[in-house]
Amino acid sequence: MPHAVFTASESSIYDDLIEERYHFPSTYLRQVQASLQDWIVYYEPRRTTGPHNSTGRQAYFAVARVAAVIPDSLRPDHFYAVMRDYMPFDAPVPFSDATGYRESKLQREDGKTNKGAFGRSVREVPRNEFEDIIRRGISVGPEPWERTHRIAEDAPEYITRSVVETITMRKVRDAAFRRHVRAAYANTCAVTGLRLVNGGGRPEVQAAHIRSVEANGPDSVRNGIALTGTAHWLFDRGLMTFGDDYSVILSPHGVPDELDKLIRKDRRLVVPAAPELRPHPTYLRWHRETCFKA
């Protein structure tokens, strides 16, 4: 069974939260249903529409799994794909380069782009092309500070596994999540503003899920935040949370007064400059309502 490519962008007119749901018209129902319980790659087009019209990257940028397809109760002839196991790429993968097109169907016999095929928001893609896109987008090797201190050892487990098996491995996903969150926050704790790197070049800041993995929280930067060990401990235990305006909120229960000195004076998070990398209100609200000890 072929995999699929889902076209998505921040400026979409559809009700997307791509880590959790993909909104689409009935035109693409057959293709989406064919992907049920299988993996897809997300593609960002160049031309985007909607209230925040922008120029897209023309690149594949994430992988996710279609868990279910349900009708939109408010909009006739529209549906939602319920998405799970979202994982962004380490770097966007251009739809074409000097070696050719990543999707062979997008290239005409004369070598030019097949605009008709390109215009479809959901496209089937053969397994070999899907796996090629994943390999180009996701790095599963050691991080920079690990390479200089690495000793001879057996080949990592992921080397012997298929692409799909690899992207489902929790240790691979955790490593990618740490990498993406640390990069988005420049290895700086969002609560304290501290940037600590040890002598081997390893950053001390940790990557915390806002909505936990156990609660189907995605491995997305928008569901992550960079925190020092102490701030991470407080956050996971519901003794600290954050407002939609990125204000820091401490629980009145069990937080020592001394810890207040660790928080930046303005009591606001240091967040990435790019809006699409900042904590999403959906996940912040989940933490306030589910975990925080008010």
Amino acid at 254: G
Mean pLDDT value of segment 99-117: 90
- Which helix (H) or strand (E) covers residue 282, if one does? helix 281-290
Residue spans of the domains in the chain: they are 3-137, 145-290
The per-residue pLDDT for 144 is: 55
The per-residue pLDDT for 104 is: 93
The per-residue pLDDT for 111 is: 85
Confidence of residue 257 (pLDDT cuts 50, 70, 90): confident
**Residue 207: closest CA among 188, 106, 3:** 188
**Residue 229: closest CA among 269, 194, 253:** 194
Q: What is the percent of the chain with per-residue pLDDT over 90, rounded to a whole number?
A: 70
CA distance 129 to 108: 17
Q: What is the pTM of this model?
A: 0.87
* pLDDT one-digit tens code per residue, 175-198: 999 999 999 999 999 999 999 887
CB 155 within 8 A of CB 197: no
Confidence of residue 54 (pLDDT cuts 50, 70, 90): low
Residue 124, strand partner residues? 4
Whether 146 shows a pLDDT value over 80: the answer reads no
Contacts of residue 94, defined as CB under 8 A and 6 or more positions apart, other chains included, come to 57, 58, 59, 102
Whether 120 shows a pLDDT value over 50: the answer reads yes
Confidence of residue 68 (pLDDT cuts 50, 70, 90): very high
Mean pLDDT value of segment 1-22: 91
CB 179 within 8 A of CB 221: no
Superfamily of domain 3-137: ph1033 like domains (3.10.590.10)
294 to 185, 213, 230, 251: CA distances (angstroms): 27, 22, 19, 6
Confidence of residue 151 (pLDDT cuts 50, 70, 90): very low
CB 77 within 8 A of CB 26: yes
Q: Range with the lowest mean pLDDT among 33-42, 88-97, 103-112, 193-202?
A: 193-202
Whether 8 shows a pLDDT value over 80: the answer reads yes
Mean pLDDT value of segment 102-113: 90
